[in-house]
Amino acid sequence: MLSKIHRFHGYGSIRGVYQRGNNYRGPLMTLKVSTRATNRPFRVAVVVSKKVSKSAVVRNRIRRRIYEAVRTMPDKNLPGKDMIFTVHSDSLASLEDKKLKKDVTDLIEKALQK
């Protein structure tokens, strides 16, 4: 699991990213990124709505898998970034790990290029 300092706390923080952040769309999920001070650690949130799956077990599995993909990224040079992953497909629950990690890494790299 991603450590506590790298997770969002409270609705106000997430709302700020939704208002000021930039969107980066992938085939299965969207990444919204906002920048804070560079001396602050990066933070990540994963949003999986009931439209994706009615089952809480599946939604939580998707959430845990994305957190794990971010945690195991080889180069976490993301200081001061706030990121929200919004999932659009329940296929992430059964997607193989390498493909999921590649999708997450590609979205983050796309966000860092701009």
Mean pLDDT of 35-53: 91
Range of the domain at 65: 4-113
The two structure tokens encoding residue 89: 């497909």
pTM score, whole prediction: 0.91
With cut-offs at 50, 70 and 90, classify the pLDDT of residue 79: confident
Residue 87 has pLDDT above 90, yes or no: yes
Please state the length of the chain: 114
Query: At residue 75, does pLDDT exceed 70?
Result: no
- Give the model's pLDDT for residue 38: 83
CATH assignment of the domain containing 10: 3.30.230.10
State how many domains the chain has.
1
CB-CB contact of 32 with 86 (8 Å): yes
Residue 109 φ then ψ, to 5°:
-65, -40
Q: What SS3 class is residue 109? A: helix
